[in-house]
Amino acid sequence: MLGYFPVPYGDELLYSIVGRHALHTGLGSNQKAVIREVFSSSTAAAIPDLPSHLDALVHNLQLVWPINVEDLIASFTLASIYLPFLSQDQAAKVIRSMRSDIGGSIHTRSGIAASTIKQSAFFRYCPECIKEQVSECGEAYWRRSHQLPGLAFCKGHSCILENSPIYFRTREKHHFVATASSRVDSTAKYLELSDLDLSLHDSYIELLQSRHLSGLGAHRWTLFYRNLANDLGLMHKSRVQHKEIYQLVKHKWDGSTFECHFQEPVEKHWLVNLFRKHRKSFHPLMHLLVLSALIPKYAVSKLLDDVSQLPATVPKSVTSMQNVKATESEIEVHRQGWRDLLKQNPDVGIKGLRGLPSGGALYVWLYRNDKQWLMCNKPQFQPVIRARYETDYQHWDESNVAILISAHIALASQPNRPRLTQTQFIKALPRANSVEKHLGDLPDTRRWLTSHAESVEDHQLYRLCEAFEKIKANNTEVKRWRLLRIANIRQELITPKIETEILKLELRRD
């Protein structure tokens, strides 16, 4: 039983608290003694993100810090960023391993080690945060939010997180190194963060603080992404438009600190598998990169809530009821279930009903066994499409503009290009037909198109410049008639602006 244990600071890792304990009690150099005292074990390894031996620790802490294991895991480790994306079974195993005295292969068993997004090799810190910690608390400590894999900046100080000399997965397995015992004195390197960088940061922190310690499982995540593609109009018939999604997301992250995650071509990119049937779990950052780009204002709490409402497995009726003729009483039971569902949810559309815990299974059963009746008993309510994602138009609008900007560069640089009309620009966008129909709801797209679409006169001016370059390349004299002929401008269409441009080109000497 411990008679002393340091009081944890906000956002501190359990590893850091143990490191400070060793320092405060003067046991720092004898790490075996530290783990024996703290974990009642001579083998407890110093694993910062998913530590083990926590039942023993909680037991030893009772006198000085009566905390339970779940709170310890949720508030002082990195478990909550991983668990919701694992299967129920995997998440439960991780928790069991963390509580037990055999932590060993937690990362491998949960699939965390296999991800292409890796944990930083060293503990990271923000030089400005360290200064603040020392002046406010009298000592420095390792923050949880600075160890999130793939997140490389401190939002509070807009600076890059620096690597300390301390290995995150230490080679001396039992060492708990306090921040104060290592060199953490780099000068802060400031950087400019985009709104999207900040939004992803906030979602990552929200996930870290979510306290959601159960696994939601592959089937739910598969359904979630399929519904998402459907709701955002990114499906053609029943096929997910992987290329469009990839382009949309990649465009969003261009020029940000997360750009490096979109270097792979679409055929090899993990994003495609995220929208297919999930066969393994995906790294939390992969989820956040896609969700922050496609539905930026969708809170993580709402996400976890929505996903947990989806069915965890394929409804039994699909797998085992096929080809077996339903009896009349079975049909009546299912019809009644459906009627009840309609009555309880008068303002939910068919898609919404299928998303309810019992709705999906009922729908599939009736569809297979009693389709005619089901078709006559569909909900009257017409849901507002995409109402689930409050930000769709705004987001759609923003991504259109991003795509238009790069499309403009490509189109404008073609030699002898045709006039850049509004229609031509719209054609460069994913879901061009929908964009045209919804221009009224997409103010930024509309404004961009109006200000960039070329008038006939604009295009004549462009042709004049091209003609000038050709004449120069041929070493002939720049003459009005020559310019007009090469630029193919008829005499009667010459406006005062064109006239001025011709005069200017005739006088140009370069």
Which residues form the interface with Zn ion (CB under 5 A)? 126, 128-129, 154, 156-157
**Closer residue to Zn ion in complex, CB, 126/348:** 126
How deeply is 331 buried, as exposed, middle or buried, from its count of CB atoms within 10 A (0-12, 13-18, 19+)? middle
DSSP3 helix / strand / coil % (the chain, rounded to 5) = 55, 5, 40
Torsion sign, CA atoms 380, 330, 369, 362:
positive
The DSSP annotation for 418-459 comes to ----HHHHHHTSTTHHHHHHTGGG-HHHHHHHHHHSPPHHHH
In whole angstroms, the minimum distance from the beta carbon of 193 to Zn ion comes to 12
Q: Which residues pair with 236 in a beta bridge?
A: 239
Which of 184, 229 has the CB closer to Zn ion? 184
Residue 125 pairs with which residues in a beta bridge? 162
d(CA 7, CA 147): 20
Nearest approach, Cβ of 447 to Zn ion (angstroms)?
A: 37
In the complex, what is the shortest distance from the CB of residue 383 to Zn ion, in angstroms, rounded to a whole number? 44
Tell me which residue of 316, 332, 315, 344 sits closest to 370, measured CA to CA: 332
User: For tokens 């910062």, what's the residue?
Assistant: 48
Report the C-alpha gap between 498 and 503 in whole angstroms.
9
Q: CB of 306: closest distance to Zn ion in angstroms?
A: 32
- At its nearest, how many Å lie between Zn ion and the CB of residue 181? 20
What are the DSSP calls for 274-330, one per residue? HTS--SS---HHHHHHHHHHHSTT--HHHHHHHHHHS-SS--HHHHHSTTPPPPHHH
Is the Cβ of residue 55 or residue 128 nearer to Zn ion in the bound state?
128
CA quadruple 102, 104, 107, 108: dihedral positive or negative? negative
> DSSP states of 171-191 as a string?
SSTT----GGGS---PPP-B-
Looking at the Cβ atoms of 161 and 235, the one nearer to Zn ion is: 161
Closest separation between CB of residue 233 and Zn ion, Å? 40
- When the beta carbons of 132 and 340 are compared against Zn ion, the nearer one is 132
What is the maximum alpha-carbon separation in the chain?
99
Nearer to Zn ion, 150 or 217 (CB): 150
Residue 466's nearest CA partner among 402, 411, 389, 413 is 413
State in angstroms the smallest separation of the CB of 157 from Zn ion: 4
Name which of 125 and 168 has its Cβ closer to Zn ion: 125
Q: What is the DSSP string of 31-71?
A: HHHHHHHHHS-S-----SSS---HHHHHHHHTTT----HHH
- Cβ of residue 148: shortest distance to Zn ion, in angstroms? 13
> How many degrees, rounded to 5, is the angle at CA 23 between CA 19 and CA 28?
85
